[in-house]
Amino acid sequence: MNKTGLIIEREYMTRVKRKSFLLTTILVPIVIIGFYAIIIAVSISGESNAQHIAILDGADLFNGSITTDKNDKTTYTFIHDETEQDFKNKYKKEGYSLFLYIPAFEENVPKQIKVHSQAAVNIFVKSALEQKINAAIEKRRLQKANIDPQIYKNIKADINIENIIDSGKGEKTGVAGVAYAVSFIAGILIYMILLIYGTMVMRGVMEEKTNRIAEVIVSSAKPFQLMMGKIIGIGAVGLTQFAIWIVLMGILQLVIPFIFPGLFHQISDPVLAKATVEQAGSGKMFTIIQGLHSLPIMKIVLCFIFYFLGGYLLYAALFAAVGSVVSEDQQEAQQLVFPVMMPLILGFVIMTKAINSPDSGLAIFGSLFPLTSPVVMMGRIAYDVPWWQLALSMILLVLGFLFFTWLTAKIYRTGILLYGKKITWKEMWKWLVRKA
């Protein structure tokens, strides 16, 4: 066990000291946090979206005025005694960013309405203009039909179904989009982590085998000890990265309120929060935070750590076995690694289905089968997974890890010492069935 510990220490320290580890562990999250801060800054800043729009209203749709929200920085100026052809050549010089032309029309059938600009119009600005024009045309048609617009407004239905989660700890408001996003992100993170670190184990074994370092280590330690030391050591590197990311996200939660105090003041104030729900930026942010509060965050984090460790240990053993039977031939490595990746890919496919139907038979099977459970269960964990399914999934994953580690160790202890020979599937089968 002491020898295994030395191998773990060697694998861990060797990779932690690499520049690539520092770059991926520290710089990448910082860059992501930077982009996150920029997105927040842009979402809560309205000045950058300010537009100065000139309107030539030939149909007199707006009667010379447009009602705007207090948060709308766009200014509208109605022009008269001008033609479209003349004014489109000078609106830019007069300080307008856009020129909206509404031709005269009769019988409430609008002709082609145009907006002149120097570049492509922002989709949000275009949508806002279309909404205002549609509302004005709708109002005119109601008046012509002798229908009171207020009565029509009262008749129109605009229902938003609220999802109330009846948990044992009280009622919570659920947001389906947030649960979907968390499930998908958690599942794809596990998938990427297993693939990246599993491949890292395989390449580490291949490098040591090619450089004949494995021979030196095996002379003082058993092949199984070498395999477990390498697997656990690289897994510890992954946990270190995950812990650093958690710390950085915690720092983000502490720093962002000081950088953008206005945003979090809106979120904490129920009155302001309700008002901002109609806005694109802060309203979406409030909805996301409300949805996150409805999720069992601690349960998700703990399950993520467990399935990361269990899934990694299982697949790392398989990838280590593949690395032990190949040398420098990358094509051979790709051929042998594909069967190992197939259940992982299958788990990802099942996970995409499980997010939409978390209680389906396929989702339950995928979350119990050890080779797919790390990915599929993380896709279901944001939903109310029965405790017995979660417990059974964890037990089967541990048993699966022990079984596949015992199985692949037979391949590893023989393959790690073979050089210059292409190993066939028949030979590996003989190693598996051979008695120790």
The whole-number pLDDT of residue 252 equals 65
284 neighbors 264 (Cβ within 8 angstroms) = no
Nearest Cα to Cα of residue 31 among 252, 336, 271: 252
Report phi then psi at 172, rounded to 5.
-130, 150
One-letter amino acid identity for 410? K
d(CA 373, CA 202): 22
10 neighbors 233 (Cβ within 8 angstroms) = yes
348 neighbors 364 (Cβ within 8 angstroms) = no
The whole-number pLDDT of residue 365 equals 93
Q: In 10 A of CB 134, how many CB atoms?
A: 11
pTM over 0.75: no
Regions of the chain short of the pLDDT cut 50: 46-48, 170-175, 265-283
Domains and CATH numbers, the chain: 51-155 (3.40.190.10), 174-433 (no CATH)
The whole-number pLDDT of residue 226 equals 75
102 neighbors 57 (Cβ within 8 angstroms) = yes
Q: What is the DSSP string of 42-87?
A: HHH--GGG--EEEEEETT-SSTT-----TT---EEEE--S--HHHH
The whole-number pLDDT of residue 368 equals 93
Kindly tell me the burial class for residue 129, based on how many C-beta atoms sit within 10 Å of its own C-beta (0-12, 13-18, 19 or more). buried
The whole-number pLDDT of residue 159 equals 66
The whole-number pLDDT of residue 421 equals 61
Q: What is the DSSP string of 256-286?
A: HHHH-HHHHHHHHSHHHHHHHTTSSHHHHHH
Angle at which helix 425-433 crosses helix 387-415, to 10 degrees, equals 110
pLDDT tens track for 93-114: 888 888 888 888 776 667 788 8
Structure-block tokens of residue 93: 């010089």
